[in-house]
Structure formats: structure tokens, C-alpha cells
Chains A and B, each alone.
Chain A
Amino acid sequence: MTEIKTEQPEKMAMGRSMKRKEDPRFLQGKGNYIDDINLKNQLYMALVHSPYPHANIKDIDSSAAMEVPGAVAVVTAKELDAHGVGWLPTFHGLDKQMVLANGKVLYQYQEVAACYAETREAAYDMAELVAVDYEPLEVVNDPYKAMTDEVLLRPDREAKTNHIYNWNVGDESGTDAALAASDHVIRQHITFPRVHAAPLEPCGCVAEFDAMGRLQFYVTSQAPHVYRTALFMVLGIPEDKIRVISPDLGGGFGNKVPIYPGYVCAIAGALVLQRPVKWIETRTENMTSSFARDYHMDIEIGASTDGTLTALKVNTVADHGAFDAAADPTKYPAGMFGVVTGSYQFPHAFANLDAYFTNKQPGGVAYRCSFRVTEASYLIERAMDILADDLKMDPTELRRKNFIRKDQFPYQTPLNFVYDSGDYEHTMDVALEKIGYTELLKEQAEKRARGELMGIGFSTFTEVTGAGPSKHFDILGIKMFDGAEIRIHPSGSGIIRTGTKSQGQGHETTWAQIVAEELGLDPQNFIVEEGDTDTAPYGLGTYASRSTPVAGGALALAARKIREKARKIAAHLLEVGEHDLEWKDYKFEVMGVPGQSVTMKEVAFAAYTNPGDNEPGLETTLYYDPPNMVFPHGTYVAVVDVDRETGETKVRRFLAVDDAGTIINPMIVEGQIHGGLTEGFAIAFMQEIAYDEAGNNLATNFTDYLVPTSLESPHWETAATCTPSPHHPIGAKSVGESPNVGSPAAFVNAVIDALSPLGVRHIDMPLSREKVWAAIRNAEQTHPAAD
């Protein structure tokens, strides 16, 4: 079924490509997504958006809107302010965000008013008729313009500047000295463009205050518990009066982490109008309320003549848009950008970042990325190729020479991470062999002799995931641990609950596999429940590739806790001492007496029928605070052909060799890799939220934000190596984001490799046909004989 061959032994439940338990309902159209939820007597809400990126609001007249048949109410910032809910704290903790534009709009499509009506159509009719009198202001749509402070975007803040924060890590003077002393130094400006996660299901919610005055909030949330606590902070409603239910999610990829203004408006409407309110984003609303990336990076790398790295220095300008709504942990305003030293040994490194406001939509969500890891990984992998090119070295040899070696783990990087484990050289060797690098190089040489453009691109990335250890990580003060609850029923089946929330990752299957493996039970006999804050234990949710590293660890440890309780009951059943038993071949066995054993199923029955002196029942809740993060890695290889006349790139082959540590379900892991690669491909070649000079957002729907179809998407080849995490309970790392983190550099490196005979050194993503065409044309005009 899967192409992935793992290096790990297959066990009873772990490491097996078990078909997904959640699929039958999705296959039959019986999933329960947000727009499938309808409450009796519900109203529909539509939002009014600003056509201007920067403007004062002089007046809002809703009288015409209220004439629409079925109109119920229009709410503006004035009404929200009166209820004290005009502003939202951002997850970052460094800023606050307007719920509805308060006196001024700061980005195009900002929410200005909320319309409530009896039907969805009527709500949109109303939104069209709300008359807003705008006074356009000068637009700042470039962070380099913002840093001049000529136009102050956020007079509401105490600090009268567009500068939000500075963050830096590492040894600046040592790095500068090392760079000055290096034989070679490369310098390059590299942009990671503004993109959007764009799950196929937009966000939405249904809010109701029930007969007990309790908020029942159905919402597309990757982090339902955080929502509950944040709603308490925003609305002042006690947490016991809030129930957040996140139903089936039609994808998330980070887009369903933030709390959007529409949610607050729906809740406010439900409270004031005393009727349930439903709000489902339009695609345009989905595309214009958040973003990811938008880092403008200057990198310098020093090396000796033989290619040994000496130092790395990065200076980044981050465009955060109108509010600092980045979903990063409090102490990590630039996320985990510090992983920018990648898989390599840098004796010295320094990273500096300054963030600015602009008239663009707020966000900075972790789009299939563990908090800014994608930007860092892309930067170092792109820069390593530029260095190899300058040194006239094969890019794989430069990497091999500088890899952190297997025997150096745990490895302290100069930018404050301790990498847990890895074998970068082995993974790269597997990739080189599988792709047939030697033959490809030969083919490329022949093609180059004929003037054809063929490129081979590598990325040997390291990722950091599993946020995270409570000593470092929190969001709004809440530590980033995760809870797991397991209950085993008398018949040996059970229910598993976690604070995570699957958006397609297959938790209903993999969580059952982890627990079943630990307990020697059948994974088919477990149900997994997530997303309801009334029943699930607290947890920080699913994003940033943290589910398996954190909740997966919680589940394994919770299962082991159950096993220890079961051991007491088993001892009672076998009439021996607890310490005379060993857990062997998924059974409790009397040491040295192979026939004398009981299964977990038998113990489960006894727990409710014959527990002896032990406390009856077999269930537990456990919170896991990981000691460190995990560091998956991989080698990706792209092979491309570039059409010299049109600039079209054809990705002929793509191989991903991932090392995600222990794999729970190879089929699911492979599926995650395929999906992440496709999003990486999209970012490299197609997806971008572009703006024009006037600050107009040019990517507000799927006609202009280019999501690849089956025809553009390459066929993916995959393989896996296995370096377990030494500190994770089952040795697992993570994989959902690796392909999106690691692949953009491989694609771009391949295209630049194809163009390198022409002297092309770098092109910023997305590598549209036109950009490639322009680079070729420019090179041909500059060096007419270059081919």
C-alpha cells in the first residue's frame, strides 16, 4: 500500500499501515463540518469589509441595510466597545487587535460591521447596503517603507513607531570577527513571500447561549481549549460557562489557530440578540484575514577555501501587517527561527530580526510550519547552494563536509537549540542512491552541452517541532503541555481523549495505535474523541507539528500508567507479587513461568469484576511536559527541466527521504509527506499573496491564489530513515510539516541549478514562468554567449 519502507521493526499496532478509522464517515458524506451544524432559530451573519487598505472611518450608516427583508441587526465597533469587546488580545501577547474597525481601517478587507439576518442571502444583501464613509490615508505596504515611520500606522499604541520588536540570538561580535576572517563570504537577500494556508473548508462558527446562559460555541478550531481560555479573557465569561466544540475540520494547516473577529461578532450577536448566530467565511474572508511567512532576509555565510563553514549571520525584516497577531509562543516572537543554522556546524552564528506594521492583513500563522521554521530552513538551504556554487563544490559535498555528525548528538547549536538526534549523512546517502545522482549528473552534463536547462536541487533540512517544554513555551501564559485521557472498558475496548484536534492527520487511528501498542489491545477497539472542551483534557491543540511529540508522548505515558495499575490487578489474578510479573509479548507473565500469564483484556474485565484489593476501574489522565523539542530531518531531491522560451518549469522527479524518528502508521506518514510536498511545491511555484502599489490585495480567492491541481502536482517518491528521538516516550518526532518546511528550497535550488550555466544566482519565490523567463532573458542579454 505504501512506498515508504521504514527501518524500524513492525510491532503489534505501531509501525503498521492500518487503514483509517475515521474514513467511513467521510467517504459517505457523513462528516460533521462546521457548515453542517444548524441550530434551531439561528440567525446568519455577514461581514462588511473595507475596500481601502488604510482609511479613517467618518461614518457608518446602516439604515438602508436594515430595510432588507429579514434584517435583524447591524453591529459596529461602537456597539462592541460599549460591551467592552472592541479589541482582542493577540496570541503573541505583544499586541491587541480590533474586532471591528475602530475609527480607522488598517488593511484592505478589514472587518467594519457585522450584519445579522434571518437568511444567509439577506445577511449578504445587508452587508452590501451598509454605507461606510471612508477617508483614504497614505498606504504603507512595504516594511522597508514602514521602518521610516513617516506614516504612523498604529497611533493607538503607546510606542509611536511602526517598529514592533527586535529579537536576536547568538554571538554578534564573534560572528562578525569570524566572517571578517573567512576566506569566502557569500551575501544574499532572500525573501520568503506572504502566503496563505487556504484549507478547502473556510473557517466558521455557530454561537449560542443556551437556556442556562452557557455559551455553546461550535467553531473551526485547531486549539479548542486555548479558544475557551482566550474567550474567557476577551469576553469575561467564566470558563465553566463556555463550551467550545470543534467539529470535523476540512483542513487547517495553521489557518484555524487564530481567533478571528468574525467569531467575536457571532458570539456578541448571539448574546445581544438571544438567538444562535452562524457565520461561515467566504473564500475571500478566509484569504484576507490571516497570512503566513513574509520574511525579508539578508544572509551572510563565511567559509574557508575547502568549504568548512565558519560563521552565519542573518538579518531579517518581518512584515506583520496591521496587528502583531503572529501565533508564536510568548517567549519566541520570531518563533523558532533560530533553527536557521540547519543541519550544519557553525562555530559562530547570529540572527537578528525586526518586525514592522504595514497596511496588510494581520497573522503570521504557522502555515504547516513549526513557528517560522520554514523561513529559516529555506534560507539556510538556499544559501548553502549559493555557497557551493561560489566555491565550485558539489552541493552535496559541501553539505556532507559540514553536517553535524551522528556522534555529536545531543548537539548544542550556537543559536540555543539542543538537537536531540539525527544521522544526516545516512539520510542523504539513501536519497542519493535512490534518486540515482551519478546518472542524473551525467544526463545533466549531456543536456547542458546541448543548451538544455536541467537542474537537480537538494535540501538537507533539520526541523524543530514539539513545542513545547513548559520552561520555554507558553501562549497567553498557558504552558504548552498536552493532556491525554484513556479509559479501558471491561471488555478491553476503550476511549481515548486528547487536547489536540485532528484536521485530517488521522488522530482517530494513530492515537489508537499508540495506546493499543502500549497495552497489547486491538486498536480497532478504541474510539478517539477530540475537540470538545467539556470532555477532552486540556491541551494546546494541533499545529506546529506538536501533536505526536507532545500529545503522542502523553498518550504513551498515560497507557503505561494504566499498565502499572493493570499490573497490580494481574498480580491479584495470578496470585503472585507485583514484582514477580513482567510485561512480555503484550501479556503479564510470571517471571520464568511462560504458561502463567494474563492478557490486558482479562485484566480489564477483572478491573470491573474482580479487582481484589485494588481500586476498581482502569482509566487515567496524564499531562505531558516534554523535556525538549524533537528535531526531524530529511533529504529532498528535485529534478527539473526548464523551458528556455517560456520559463516553464517541469518537476520531473521529486524524492523525499524523511527521518521522523519512530513511525506510528507508515501509510498516514506517507500521506502527510505527499500533502506537505504539494504545499511546498505550491509555495515554490504558484502561491503568493501579492499586493499592488496601492495596497490592494491581489490574492483574495482561488482564481488568483493558485492552489495546484492534480495536473500541476508532481508525482511524489518517498523513503524513510529512522533515528528515534532519545527523549520521546516512543521515539517519535513529527512529519506533518517537514515536507512543507524542507521542500521549497529543493525546488528553488533545482531551478537555479538549471539556470546556473547562464549565471543566474537567485530568484525569489514563487518561481513563476515569467520570473524564470525574465532571469533567462536577462542572463542571455548580459552574457550572450553563456549557453
Chain B
Amino acid sequence: MFPASFEYVRAHSPDEAFDALQKHGYDGRVLAGGQSLIPAMRYRLARPAVLVDINPISELSYLKEEDGFLRIGATTRDAALEFAPWVRERYSLITSVSAVVADPIVRHMGTVVGSVCHNDPAGDWTATALAARGVVVIRGKEGLREVPIDEFLVDSYTTAVEEGEMALELKIPIPDARTQGSYQKIERKVGDYATCAAAVQLSLNEDGTIRQAGIAITAAGPIAMRVAAAEAMLIGQRPTLELLRAASEEAPKIATPNADQRGSAEYKKDMTRVLVGRGLKQALERLGAVSA
């Protein structure tokens, strides 16, 4: 199938992209990896009048640690995270996500920031950003602003990025040595969106109690959702299987998934429990803090 016609704007710098977006307003749309947008355009489910291609902006393609954050640029591909040895070594949550996003080829074009901005409730990076307490850097009229991921995700396919603005970066706090995570995903096959998934990240205090917990679920509501009650239940506690089970039972209480071909609401709700439970267990195993 063939997309509808559009005007193409090639941006070579963030300024050029921003100017084009300002000029075209709601008609303009950022083209990053295009891995969700282009299929949607082929089905003519999306028909932007103007595409602002930011792929040529080499200065937005970076993956680096700076000021306590992992900084992921707007054109940084999923594959860059998947194959960076230092990311694999120290970012267990991100590593387990980057291996299951879409399919291996799509990950070479798809971008992390683009996925977060697309804000599909079944996308993998939004729950990940919630669990890891990420921050999105947005370029607006007033310059740059930083929006915590909880505020960034507004509604399905809607974010804090306003008309004429663009997201430049996702920042993830660098995990310390006592932080581990896990992404648990049920998909019908490689390349499918998640039927249900859970992102989990835990940090321990020196005494083995839980210092910080990030727990979020994918495809369980209009947007990725933080399971705050489960997080609160864990903080300050010593991890036991009993406690993990209790925490995982908080997930289905807030989940409001839609029934679709991937499963009934009842099934997906139960899977939030199972996957949060498995994610917590795996994170703690990675921390060497719990035995089965």
C-alpha cells in the first residue's frame, strides 16, 4: 500500500527541525525511525501533511552517560542500546527491553525517544521509562524543558509535547551497583505488540532492604501505568517471596486493559500480576538478594 502525499522537510539541525515544526504547527510531524508511523501511513491511518525528517541530525544520535544520567538522543536507535556492551553490563532493565522491542530489523531503525513520544499503550519503552524514572527533554518556544515521564505520558498517543515542539532526549538515571531490573513481556510472536508486559527496577540499601522500587505495566490501560502501591509496599522492606507476591497483586488492581485479539481483560489483568511477580523475582535474583 502507498501512503498519501506529504511535503518532506529534511532537517540538518535541531534548530531547523524546530523551525519547521513551528512553521507547520499541527500539520507537521516529526519523522524519526518511522517504524510505527510509516506502516500507519501506508494504511492511510496516518496522513500528515508535512514530515520533518530528523534522521539527518547527527548531533541527536547519541547514547552517553553524563551528570548522573544515561542520555538517549532523539535519533538513537533501539539497536544502539541493544548492542552497546557497557549498556548490557550495567543496565539490566534496558537490556531486557531492548532485546524484545518489535523485531531485530525494526530495532535498527526504531528510536527509543520516538517510541516514548508515540506513547502507544503497548509500546515497551514507556513502562521502562516509568520504572527507571526517566525524564524527557522537550524543545519548546521557551527553550528546553525537562518533563518527568509520569507527567510526559498524558493519554494514549498523547504526550506533553505540544504543537510545534519536539522531544530531544530521554534521560534515565544511572543505576548504582545495587540496582537491577527486568522486563517481562508476553507477545503472541516476535514483532507483535505486547499482550502485557511489566518493567521492574529495584535498588537495595546496604543492609539489604529495598531503597527504591520502580514498577510499571505495559498494555494494561490507556497508557503505561506505574504500580505505585506495589512500589510503596516494597520500600524499606527486606525482600521475601511473600512480599513480592503481595506486591505483584497490586498490579491487577489498577490495570484497566482492553479486551482484544491479544487477550481478554481478565487474562491481561492476571498477567500483570504474573509478570510483575516474575520481574521482581528476577530483579532480586540479579541483585543476589533472594533465592527461589
**Among B75-83, B125-133, B235-243, B260-268, which stretch is in contact with chain A?**
B260-268
Is A214 an interface residue when CB atoms closer than 8 A count as contact? Answer: no
Within 8 A of B (CB), among A709-757: 709, 711-712
Q: Are A646 and B190 in contact (CB under 8 A)?
A: no
Is A308 an interface residue when CB atoms closer than 8 A count as contact? Answer: no
Contacts of B1 in A (CB 8 A): 124, 282, 284
Is A239 an interface residue when CB atoms closer than 8 A count as contact? Answer: no
Is B254 an interface residue when CB atoms closer than 8 A count as contact? Answer: no
Contacts of A125 in B (CB 8 A): 2, 4-5
Given contacts A124-B1, A774-B267, contact A709 B190 (CB under 8 A): yes
Interface majority SS (helix, strand, loop, mixed), chain B: loop
Is B270 an interface residue when CB atoms closer than 8 A count as contact? Answer: yes
Contacts of A142 in B (CB 8 A): none
Smallest CB separation, B264 vs chain A (Å) = 6
Within 8 A of B (CB), among A331-376: none
Is A640 an interface residue when CB atoms closer than 8 A count as contact? Answer: no
Q: By CB atoms of chain A within 10 A, which of B1, B5, B264, B270 has the most?
A: B1
Smallest CB separation, B279 vs chain A (Å) = 13
**A690 to B262 CA separation, bound complex (whole angstroms):** 12
Q: Are B189 and A686 in contact (CB under 8 A)?
A: yes
Closest to A692 in B: B261
Is A781 an interface residue when CB atoms closer than 8 A count as contact? Answer: no
Is B271 an interface residue when CB atoms closer than 8 A count as contact? Answer: yes
- Interface size for B (C-beta < 8 A) is 20
Closest to A769 in B: B186
Closest to B42 in A: A282
Q: Are B2 and A120 in contact (CB under 8 A)?
A: yes
Is A135 an interface residue when CB atoms closer than 8 A count as contact? Answer: no
Q: Are A124 and B2 in contact (CB under 8 A)?
A: yes
Q: Mark A116-133, 1 if CB is under 8 A from B, else 0.
A: 000011001100100000
Smallest CB separation, B224 vs chain A (Å) = 20
**A282 to B3 CA separation, bound complex (whole angstroms):** 13
Smallest CB separation, A761 vs chain B (Å) = 21
Q: Are A686 and B188 in contact (CB under 8 A)?
A: yes
Contacts of A648 in B (CB 8 A): 186
Is B146 an interface residue when CB atoms closer than 8 A count as contact? Answer: no
Q: Are A128 and B189 in contact (CB under 8 A)?
A: no
Q: Mark B270-283, 1 if CB is under 8 A from A, else 0.
A: 11001000000000
Q: Are B261 and A708 in contact (CB under 8 A)?
A: no
Contacts of A473 in B (CB 8 A): none
Smallest CB separation, A688 vs chain B (Å) = 9
Smallest CB separation, B253 vs chain A (Å) = 18
Contacts of B44 in A (CB 8 A): 128
Within 8 A of A (CB), among B184-202: 186, 188-192, 195
Given contacts A121-B2, A646-B274, contact A704 B190 (CB under 8 A): no
**A276 to B232 CA separation, bound complex (whole angstroms):** 69
Q: Are B189 and A770 in contact (CB under 8 A)?
A: no
Q: Are A712 and B261 in contact (CB under 8 A)?
A: no
Q: Are B188 and A709 in contact (CB under 8 A)?
A: no
Smallest CB separation, A196 vs chain B (Å) = 15
Closest to B190 in A: A709
Is B59 an interface residue when CB atoms closer than 8 A count as contact? Answer: no
Given contacts A709-B190, A712-B190, contact A770 B263 (CB under 8 A): yes
Smallest CB separation, A649 vs chain B (Å) = 12
Contacts of A770 in B (CB 8 A): 263-264, 267
Contacts of B190 in A (CB 8 A): 709, 711-712
Contacts of B263 in A (CB 8 A): 768-770
Given contacts A124-B1, A125-B4, A645-B274, contact A708 B189 (CB under 8 A): yes
Is A703 an interface residue when CB atoms closer than 8 A count as contact? Answer: yes
Q: Are A703 and B103 in contact (CB under 8 A)?
A: no
Smallest CB separation, B10 vs chain A (Å) = 21
Smallest CB separation, B6 vs chain A (Å) = 12
Contacts of B264 in A (CB 8 A): 770
Contacts of A768 in B (CB 8 A): 188, 263
Q: Mark A657-698, 1 if CB is under 8 A from B, else 0.
A: 000000000000000000000000000001000100000001
Q: Are A690 and B189 in contact (CB under 8 A)?
A: no
Is A773 an interface residue when CB atoms closer than 8 A count as contact? Answer: yes
Q: Are A646 and B186 in contact (CB under 8 A)?
A: yes
Within 8 A of A (CB), among B1-55: 1-2, 4-5, 44
**A709 to B192 CA separation, bound complex (whole angstroms):** 11
Closest to A643 in B: B274
**A283 to B6 CA separation, bound complex (whole angstroms):** 23
**A121 to B189 CA separation, bound complex (whole angstroms):** 31
Q: Are A773 and B188 in contact (CB under 8 A)?
A: no
**A698 to B261 CA separation, bound complex (whole angstroms):** 8
**A704 to B271 CA separation, bound complex (whole angstroms):** 20
Q: By CB atoms of chain B within 10 A, which of A646, A707, A769 has the most?
A: A646
Closest to A688 in B: B261
Smallest CB separation, A154 vs chain B (Å) = 30
Extra contacts besides A120-B2, A128-B4, A769-B195 (13): CB < 8 Å = A124-B2, A125-B5, A648-B186, A686-B188, A690-B261, A703-B191, A709-B191, A711-B189, A712-B190, A768-B188, A770-B264, A770-B267, A773-B267
Interchain residue pairs with CB less than 8 A apart (29) = A121-B5, A124-B1, A124-B2, A128-B44, A282-B1, A284-B1, A645-B274, A646-B186, A646-B271, A646-B274, A648-B186, A690-B261, A698-B261, A703-B191, A703-B192, A706-B188, A706-B192, A708-B189, A709-B189, A709-B190, A709-B191, A769-B186, A769-B188, A769-B195, A769-B267, A770-B263, A770-B264, A773-B270, A774-B267
Which residues of A are at the interface with B, using a C-beta cutoff of 8 A? 120-121, 124-125, 128, 282, 284, 645-646, 648, 686, 690, 698, 703-704, 706-709, 711-712, 768-770, 773-774
